[in-house]
Amino acid sequence: MNTQLAQRTFFIRARTAELNDRAFDQELLPQFFCLFHRRSLSNLERVVFDLRGVRWGNPYGALGVVLLCEVLRDYSPWELEIWLASAQQHKRHTWLAHLGLGQAVARLAKVKGQLEDEVQLATRYRYLPITALPSAPEGQVRLLKDVALHTYEILVNDFGYDAVQASRFITALSELCTNIYDHSAPRGQMRGFIAMQAYQNTVKFAVMDLGVGIPKSLRSRYGLDDAALLEKAFEPGVSACENRGLGLARVSQIVERQHGILNVRSGRAKILLLGRERHRTLYRLTQKSAFQGTQIGILLRRV
Amino acid sequence: MKHVNHTLEPEQGFLIGRQEGARLKELICEKLEQQEPCSVLELDFSKVEFVDVSCADELVVRVLARLQAGEFPNRFLVLRGLKPQHRENVEAALAVGSKAVYAQTETGWTPLGELISSYREALEAVDQKQQITARELFETMGYETINESSTKLSALYKLCLIGREPYRRPVRGGGRQFRYLSLLDP
């Protein structure tokens, strides 16, 4: 009976206690790809994301789970379940609740063991919960304004950034979000998300989408391979749209200056920028490990 | 030149998005229309914390485009109280629209945007003298011909960076003479 149950269920497990960039890229994604390379999918009935061991993480990891659920919902008939730790199990961590992971996936999957205190905080000052970028222009502006306001307050008041630096970062962040609208094909069917979390000396952002990805949108203009195109996207003025291309270039400058970390994954390439070391590593991914859209994680430190 | 102030007071100090910019652009254009000729509208950014490129494009570049198209003849726009955090995005919008505008920054009044150096020099001369004719500029700058001086002044006027008023009677052959005026308060 148990064997049959096991055959009918596929588990994607977070094996470490921290649901962060590494957990998404090196644990969840490989398991996700394994699912599609199983010999027999015919008797599979459900996919379970077992996140009960997760105690901490960042917006990149949490948003990554939402993207995986979105893709599974699109391409599979299987029942989806997310198993989260309950508040009693991990009393001291409420970050998943504040990021609203349960709420974000509730429309896609059955959520079990949802954190009891999963409510929007009265003040969203330290967190911007996982938010889907709205498709209506009015909603987009409202969200961008909300994100800009909170980011500006945190960077200037808490993290000691000057107004020019904060303004540059907000401009770049808003361009990253706008890129999602511009580069989603077909237009009007874009799915993008943003989340932010400020904790102690760091503020972390994640911006992700299920669009065509950076290399594909730049290929018609620059005609290189995925890795070279992703590198090119870091140059000022490089964009699929005229008079744009400030997003990644500016974010990377600020990340370097503030000793932060930038992680960009799109198509068959990934770039990790370590600001403190001023070191950028380019990873070439195989076709098997390429994921849809673009996933961007940003970490900034207190000045 | 008569100076009129128009202070931007956005909700929480943030000017974001084309929509908000377009709404404010209409208010600015209405105000420009209401002004008498030879007026300078000072768009005051002192209560603005952040302005993005799209909003700056609507607020500044598109208003300048309408001014340059002659929709509000002899009215002018300058930007007052521009903070360093506004400057980059306003300049990015000006670069996209190939426009230039006078702005008061922390270091004083300066033309922002696309303007070739010889025009900048001519503009500086106009600002120093407050009002100048083509002949006076020709003498001040040591141009080769008066025609060169006239061309520069006329171009700066078309860019809405200086004003002008008729000066003396038309010269022989029907050409009108103008005195060109600085947009800046002495």
Looking at the fold, whether B140 and B62 belong to one and the same domain comes out as no
Instruction: Provide the CA A185 distance to its chain's centre, in angstroms.
Output: 19
Looking at the fold, whether B8 and B93 belong to one and the same domain comes out as yes
Q: What is the pTM of this model?
A: 0.80
End-of-domain residue from the set B53, B79, B114: B114
End-of-domain residue from the set B58, B87, B114: B114
Chain B contact set for A163 (CB, 8 A): 49, 83-85
Report percent pLDDT > 90 for chain B. Answer: 73
Looking at the fold, whether B153 and B185 belong to one and the same domain comes out as yes
Residues A185, A220 contacting (CB under 8 angstroms): no
Looking at the fold, whether B138 and B109 belong to one and the same domain comes out as no
Number of domain units in chain B: 2
Looking at the fold, whether B58 and B73 belong to one and the same domain comes out as yes
Q: In what order do the strands lie in the sheet with A291-301?
A: A127-132, A192-199, A202-209, A291-301, A261-267, A269-274, A279-284
From 3.40.630.30, 3.90.550.10, 1.10.390.10, 3.30.565.10, which CATH number describes the A124-303 domain? 3.30.565.10
In sequence order, what are the residues at sequence separation of 6 or more whose Cβ sits closer than 8 angstroms to the Cβ of residue B158? B68
Which of B153, B129, B165, B168 lies closest to B39 in space, CA to CA?
A: B165
Chain B contact set for A174 (CB, 8 A): 16, 52
- Look at B12 and A138 and tell me if their CB atoms are within 8 Å: no
CA distances from A23 to A15, A19, A148 (A): 8, 5, 28
SS3 A182: helix
Instruction: Provide the CA B4 distance to its chain's centre, in angstroms.
Output: 14
Task: Return d(Cα B103, Cα B113) in angstroms, integer.
Answer: 10
- Look at A149 and B20 and tell me if their CB atoms are within 8 Å: no
Q: What is the pLDDT of residues A59-95, one digit of tens each?
A: 999 999 999 999 998 888 889 999 887 656 555 456 6
Mutate to test the interface with A, among B12, B16, B99 (most CBs of A within 10 A): B16
- Look at A167 and B16 and tell me if their CB atoms are within 8 Å: no
Domain that holds residue B140: 116-186
Looking at the fold, whether B128 and B53 belong to one and the same domain comes out as no
Q: What is the pLDDT of residues A162-215, one digit of tens each?
A: 998 899 888 888 878 877 776 665 555 678 899 998 888 889 999 999 888 888
What CATH number should be reported for the domain holding residue B140? 1.10.10.10
Facing A168 at nearest CB: one of B88, B95, B96: B88
**Within 10 Å of residue B102's Cβ, how many Cβ atoms?**
24
Q: What is the pLDDT of residues B54-81, one digit of tens each?
A: 889 999 999 999 999 999 999 999 999 9
Looking at the fold, whether B169 and B100 belong to one and the same domain comes out as no
**Within 10 Å of residue A120's Cβ, how many Cβ atoms?**
12
Given the cut 0.85, state whether the ipTM is greater than it. no
Looking at the fold, whether B74 and B98 belong to one and the same domain comes out as yes
Cis amide leading into B111 (omega within 30):
no
- Look at A141 and B17 and tell me if their CB atoms are within 8 Å: yes
For residue B47 the two structure tokens come to: 């209560």
Q: What is the pLDDT of residues A208-229, one digit of tens each?
A: 998 888 888 888 888 788 999 9
Looking at the fold, whether B109 and B120 belong to one and the same domain comes out as no
Looking at the fold, whether B106 and B14 belong to one and the same domain comes out as yes
Q: Would an 8 Å CB–CB cutoff place B85 in contact with chain A? A: yes
- What's the gap in Å between the CA of A164 and the closest CA on chain B? 4
Confidence grade of residue B87 (pLDDT, cut at 50, 70, 90): very high
DSSP conformation class of A105: H
CATH topology of domain A1-119: Transcription Regulator spoIIAA (3.30.750)
Looking at the fold, whether B135 and B161 belong to one and the same domain comes out as yes
For residue A235 the two structure tokens come to: 């140059």
- Look at A141 and B49 and tell me if their CB atoms are within 8 Å: no
End-of-domain residue from the set B75, B92, B114: B114
Average pLDDT, chain B: 91
Looking at the fold, whether B29 and B50 belong to one and the same domain comes out as yes
